[in-house]
Structure 1
């Protein structure tokens, strides 16, 4: 892998740049170095529980300057998918946070909060406000034949104490209950990377996908045809990578180690 030639860094957030409200080792220095040397960053996050404004506010709170254009979220990928791959005017039942539903409505979609007869699809996100009523209403719709869509397959979201259920775990509960299978829109689908390449004008050879999860972050890079770097600050271990069907191009202890490797490659 030609680290010296990388100028677009596609970065996961949870477990890669930070854990909850704590920056991970080397993250701030890495971002400062990339920007000061003419590189570009795009934050590719499957976390659909909060919007871009909240993401920018969090980065600012952590001392990291951030621009709106740098964020590509599973919500944006979902909006792109619904606009390009679904019929116009459909109604959706969203299992997600108030922020998730608000973002979808602002994008022009008909989002219902009850299992109405004309709902075409259930759309599941990372719901930190999940209730049993939402689960039951989703089951009603899925058993009735509504399509089953989801923002991302992540089973767990990293926290300071360990992990908490993510969108994939919520979907697995619905799968177990209804026998239906979900169509995932976010990582590992390569849509977010394709959007980032289009926005920046970078070639695939100039991009590097960096993340802590093999089956979403690294698989997304593999699916998009870009080099990948696994950091060991979140879910995956080096042992996991050795047996993964989508192994990373390289493995680093953390963002500090990746930064050191880039500096060495550019000497």
Structure 2
């Protein structure tokens, strides 16, 4: 049983957790307001690395949430956090969107989208600007065992208004079939996003909780980071997923409204 009254940092998945499509769930606004009233902090955690947070800020504001950029934590943020101190001087081939490359450049890294001498790392994100040239470049680079391989997230698909499109995980699977190389993954379900959030906001594991509707990404991330997890049944997940994926949430809730009831 989670004592939500003692939590200070709430890591929130978005689609399926606080809204579905363009519909904000009942209780979301009251939940966010209550967390702030208690002196807590919430962060919207997303694996999407194809764009900056500006589009998310606008989307949530259109739903009535007074969001600012500091309220978001993306897999690109976690990637930058991971790269610091490890690849500060490296020449990095960034396989992703223009926005993805720009974020990495602004963080101070040496970034290229051309195959050239001296590249020591390939980073792969969700790429809505995918070309065959990028796939060819990646295969050639991964043929060199001295070139490291990191991906922002393992998601197979990204939902759209009409269905799904291949996400970073699907592209990495193509590269694996062609090269035999698999990346180190940064985003959910790996723990780096949760660890970054605690490091950035100075909260302990005992003060932090991950809230999400997917056992295999949101909840698994929290479990691997050693924090409590709140599994909500308002999105993709069903109770049987815990056994299916071998990941046990700390607590299961109907929706964000039920979590609000437990905040005190």
The TM-score, its normalising length taken from structure 2, stands at 0.90
CA distance in 1, matches of 2:148, 2:8: 39
2:125 matched residue in structure 1: 125
1:138 matched residue in structure 2: 138
SS at match of 1:121: strand
Report the number of matched residues: 262
Please say if 1:252 is aligned against 2:253: yes
SS at match of 1:56: helix
- Gap regions ≥5 residues in structure 2: none
CA distance in 2, matches of 1:21, 1:82: 34
Distance verdict in 2 for CA 1:44–1:38, change over 3 Å: same
Greater mean alpha carbon deviation, residues 98-107 or residues 134-143? 134-143
1:5 matched residue in structure 2: 6
Q: Is the 8 A contact 1:15 1:158 kept in 2?
A: no
The aligned runs of 1:1-267 (5 Å cut-off) are: 1-86=2-87, 88-145=88-145, 146-260=147-261, 262-263=262-263, 266=264
CA distance in 2, matches of 1:81, 1:17: 28
- Shift of the alpha carbon at 1:226? 1.0
CA distance in 1, matches of 2:117, 2:161: 42
Q: Is the 8 A contact 1:19 1:158 kept in 2?
A: no
Distance verdict in 2 for CA 1:197–1:51, change over 3 Å: same
Q: Is the 8 A contact 1:94 1:101 kept in 2?
A: yes
Distance verdict in 2 for CA 1:196–1:20, change over 3 Å: same
Greater mean alpha carbon deviation, residues 171-180 or residues 143-152? 143-152
Distance verdict in 2 for CA 1:114–1:66, change over 3 Å: same
- Gap regions ≥5 residues in structure 1: none
CA distance in 2, matches of 1:69, 1:166: 25
CA RMSD of aligned residues (A): 2.1
- Shift of the alpha carbon at 1:136? 1.8
CA distance in 2, matches of 1:26, 1:129: 37
Q: Is the 8 A contact 1:16 1:233 kept in 2?
A: yes
CA distance in 2, matches of 1:256, 1:84: 41
CA distance in 2, matches of 1:24, 1:162: 21
The TM-score, its normalising length taken from structure 1, stands at 0.89
Q: Deviations over 1:41-91 (max 9, x none)?
A: 0122211111133332322222211233322211111111111223x3211
